Amino acid sequence: MVKNHHLAKAVLDVLWNELTRQLEYKAAWEKREYIKVDIFFAGSQVSSCCGDQNVDTKYLSVRNWICPICGAEHDRDINPAGGSGMGR
């Protein structure tokens, strides 16, 4: 159905909605916190240590970066989850 251009957006929207619904359910089941962030939240640019936003990291070619404020080293894939990702 995704190959049908008239239905593709609707089908994909339903799939994402179902995924987030399941994540909310599983988090509640395991007594975990589920935080849904805005689609435009720049999580890989915000330091998980001090909260400063480093706009120099917006390019996907920048995989690791050092926060100019607190000096923490971050991995762009792990940092949005709240960890620095370096030295783990």
Can you give the three-state secondary structure of 44-67, one letter per residue?
Answer: CCECCCCCCECHHHCCCCCCEEEC
User: Domain map of the chain by residue range?
Assistant: 1-35, 37-88
The mean pLDDT value for 52-56 works out to 83
Query: What digits encode the pLDDT tens for the residues 28-47?
Result: 999 999 888 787 877 788 88
Element (H, E) at 32: none
Residue 69 or 26, more confident: 26
Residue-wise pLDDT tens digits, 5-15: 677 777 777 78
How far apart, in whole angstroms, are the C-alpha atoms of residue 57 and residue 66? 10
